[in-house]
């Protein structure tokens, strides 16, 4: 037996040790109260010269980044005279020419504050921008589209110019990527060599330093420091219309007014454009998101060259969980790769070519499609008016159709489009509690369909209750969801739904076709997988 172990076996020794530790703690506390400066000095003296030098070098590095990048970061004010005039008229006031408008179009986030949101300050339509290119007497500024959207006048405040502004000209904007380019007359002293370098966002790694620079709340140039928290983040229905893909997440503080400002690495290279936050307070809680600079640079160059970004358009949709097919869905549809079509928008190239819901697109113009992201990239990279062969899997058979691409509509126009499927008529039956699925379903009655904005041609069983954390909840089902089909069996009634699921056992997975609400006035079809408990 170890002698130290024997020490602890004696109660008297244990009590003695506890008393000693307490006495030491009391002594240290008294010493710190009597002379806290000495205590701090003692702690400071514990740092070795090398450690001190490392901290000083890091501090100098951040200061050098601020000195190099901040002069190229501008504050932008977007002025919409019509909106201001209307607001003042409603209050019985007059509005002088050029008064700054203060729109706040993001009230919807107050109802669900955890939804990612565009960090627009309440009380001002302002944001940030970055000087990115000098072309003789013209300098171009990259910012977010939501910063300048609907602006009649754009005022640009250069670094250090809190009161004096120059008028910016909108070169072009792209609502899909949420980027815009502004031009101004080249300021004195600004040359291509004074602008920060645009880095390579494909090389960033989680854990690397990230520095956000901008004008939060209009207070002036501000630098915050954090790390790259994650990459390839997806944000959906931000501001109700925008879906962001492949975003950089950072805990560097981003607040209202930072939109359009740069996210910078430790080398002072711009790796992203700060765009959105997720917050319960409308301010920074360490969840900020930036558009990768590689994507932003390509969009920026096209806007500068052509004034806009023109993309091809197909007209199909899928749900977020099915953008990449899991092995069960691949087996179900008999494919090894591809993009699952869950909805086809009417009067679109896809509809005209005969593409149907649950087709799996495997090749676009002989290019292999791995997932829905790959399909989007292939389609948007195809100019409008091109005839493209599309190979797909339909009901276990390969089919080839020809699509004539169109020009992609704006994101707000796309939001208004939708689609639905149809199944056989329903017969009335009773509610059914499905414990293994964690939900309750009932017949879809006319009153329910009207209240839930469900098209009269859509038939299925209505989900009326979902157990929190249960299989249905994990599969994304909510109250008001309509289950149209189990596997390949249509389920217009509860009786047929029970028949389709009676042989399922705990641990089994089943593919469901559902119709669910996506906004107050819109529903869409989707495919989801539910695994029984």
Give the number of other CB atoms < 10 A from CB of residue 241.
16
pLDDT at 428: 43
pLDDT at 35: 56
Is 97 a residue whose pLDDT tops 60? no
98-125 b/e (C-beta count within 10 Å ≥ 16 → b):
eebbbbeebeebeeeeebbbbbbbeebb
Is 91 a residue whose pLDDT tops 50? no
Q: Where are the domains of the chain?
A: 1-34, 72-309, 312-416, 432-531
> In which element (H, E) is residue 483 found?
strand 482-486
pLDDT at 65: 93
**Confidence band (pLDDT; 50, 70, 90) for 160?**
confident
Long-range own/partner contacts, residues 162-170 (CB < 8 A, 24 or more apart):
162/220, 165/77, 168/76, 168/141
Q: What is the dihedral of CA 351, 355, 358, 364, to 10 degrees?
A: -120
Q: Are 182 and 154 in contact (CB under 8 A)?
A: yes
Is 105 a residue whose pLDDT tops 70? no
**Helix residue ranges per DSSP H, 381-424:** 411-416
Architecture of domain 432-531: Roll (2.30)
pLDDT at 33: 56
Reported CATH class of domain 72-309: mainly beta
Q: Are 70 and 223 in contact (CB under 8 A)?
A: yes
Q: For 20-48, what is the mean pLDDT?
A: 56
How far, in Å, are 94, 105, 155, 248, 430 from residue 123 at the CA level? 19, 11, 16, 27, 53
Is 88 a residue whose pLDDT tops 70? no
Q: For 53-68, what is the mean pLDDT?
A: 91
pLDDT tens, position by position, 198-208: 999 999 999 99
pLDDT at 182: 97
Calpha distance 118→220 (Å, rounded) = 19
pLDDT tens, position by position, 370-379: 999 899 989 9
Is 416 a residue whose pLDDT tops 60? no
pLDDT at 456: 81
Is 468 a residue whose pLDDT tops 90? no
pLDDT tens, position by position, 282-296: 777 888 999 999 999
Q: Which two tokens stand for residue 349?
A: 């190239």
Helix, strand, coil proportions of the chain in percent (round to 5)?
30, 30, 40
Query: In the 8-state DSSP scheme, what is residue 120?
Result: P
Q: Are 255 and 279 in contact (CB under 8 A)?
A: no
pLDDT at 22: 54
Least confidently predicted of 42-56, 118-132, 224-238, 329-343: 118-132
pLDDT at 115: 52
The 3-state DSSP class for residue 191 equals coil
Strand runs labelled E in 97-147 = 116-117, 126-135, 138-144
Residues 6+ apart with CB under 8 A from 455: 420, 449, 523
Please give the backbone phi and psi of residue 387, each rounded to the nearest 5 degrees, phi first.
-95, 120
Calpha distance 437→466 (Å, rounded) = 9
- High-pLDDT (> 70) share of the chain, %: 77
Tell me if domain 72-309 and domain 432-531 are identical in fold: no
Is 5 a residue whose pLDDT tops 80? no
Average pLDDT, the chain: 81
> Which residues are identified as catalytic?
146, 178, 259
pLDDT tens, position by position, 420-461: 333 333 334 567 778 788 888 988 888 778 878 888 888 899
Q: For 405-421, what is the mean pLDDT?
A: 65
Q: Are 193 and 114 in contact (CB under 8 A)?
A: no
Give domain 312-416's CATH superfamily: PDZ domain (2.30.42.10)
């Amino acid at each position: 037996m170890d002698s130290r172990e024997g020490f602890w076996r004696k109660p008297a020794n244990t009590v003695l040790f506890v008393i000693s530790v307490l006495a030491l703690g009391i002594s240290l506390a008294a010493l710190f109260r009597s002379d806290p400066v000495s205590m701090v000095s003692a702690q400071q003296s514990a740092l070795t010269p090398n450690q001190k030098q490392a901290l000083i070098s890091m501090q100098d590095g951040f200061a050098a980044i601020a000195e190099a990048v901040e002069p190229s970061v501008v504050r932008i004010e977007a002025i919409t005279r019509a909106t201001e005039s209307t607001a003042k008229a409603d209050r019985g006031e007059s509005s002088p020419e050029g008064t700054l408008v203060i729109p706040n179009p993001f009230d919807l986030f107050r109802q669900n504050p955890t939804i990612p949101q565009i960090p627009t300050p309440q009380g001002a339509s302002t944001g940030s921008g970055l000087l990115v290119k000098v072309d003789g007497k013209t300098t171009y500024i990259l910012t977010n589209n939501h910063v300048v959207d609907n602006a009649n006048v754009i005022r640009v405040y250069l670094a250090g110019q809190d009161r004096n502004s120059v008028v910016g000209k909108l070169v072009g904007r792209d609502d899909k990527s949420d980027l815009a380019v502004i031009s101004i007359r080249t300021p004195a002293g600004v040359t291509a060599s004074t602008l920060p370098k645009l880095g390579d966002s494909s090389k960033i790694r989680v854990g690397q330093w990230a520095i956000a620079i901008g004008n939060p709340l209009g207070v002036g140039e501000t630098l915050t420091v954090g790390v790259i928290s994650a990459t390839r983040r997806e944000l959906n229905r931000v501001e109700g219309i925008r879906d962001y893909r492949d975003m950089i997440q950072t805990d560097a503080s981003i607040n209202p007014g930072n939109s359009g400002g740069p996210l910078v690495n430790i080398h002072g290279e711009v790796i992203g454009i700060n765009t959105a936050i997720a917050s319960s307070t409308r301010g920074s809680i360490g969840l900020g998101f930036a558009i990768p600079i590689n994507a932003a640079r390509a969009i920026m160059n096209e806007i500068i060259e052509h004034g806009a970004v023109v993309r091809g358009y197909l007209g199909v949709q899928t749900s977020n969980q099915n953008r990449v097919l899991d092995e069960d869905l691949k087996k179900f549809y008999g494919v090894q790769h591809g993009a699952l079509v869950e909805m086809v928008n009417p009067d679109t190239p896809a509809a005209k070519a005969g593409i149907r819901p649950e087709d799996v697109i495997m090749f676009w113009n002989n290019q292999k499609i791995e997932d829905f992201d790959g399909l989007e990239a292939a389609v948007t990279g195809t100019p409008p008016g091109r005839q493209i062969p599309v190979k797909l899997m339909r009901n276990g058979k390969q089919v080839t159709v020809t699509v004539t691409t169109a020009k992609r509509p704006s994101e707000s126009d796309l939001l208004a489009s939708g689609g639905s499927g149809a199944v056989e008529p329903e017969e009335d039956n009773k509610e059914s509690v499905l414990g293994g699925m964690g939900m309750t379903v009932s017949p879809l009655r006319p009153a329910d369909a009207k209240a839930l904005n469900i098209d009269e041609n859509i038939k299925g069983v209505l989900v009326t209750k979902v157990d929190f954390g249960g299989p249905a909840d994990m599969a994304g089902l909510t109250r008001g969801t309509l289950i149209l089909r189990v596997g390949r069996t249509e389920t217009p009634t509860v009786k047929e739904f029970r028949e389709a699921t009676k042989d399922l056992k705990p641990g089994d997975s089943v593919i469901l076709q559902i119709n669910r609400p996506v906004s107050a006035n819109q529903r869409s079809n989707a495919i989801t997988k539910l695994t029984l408990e």
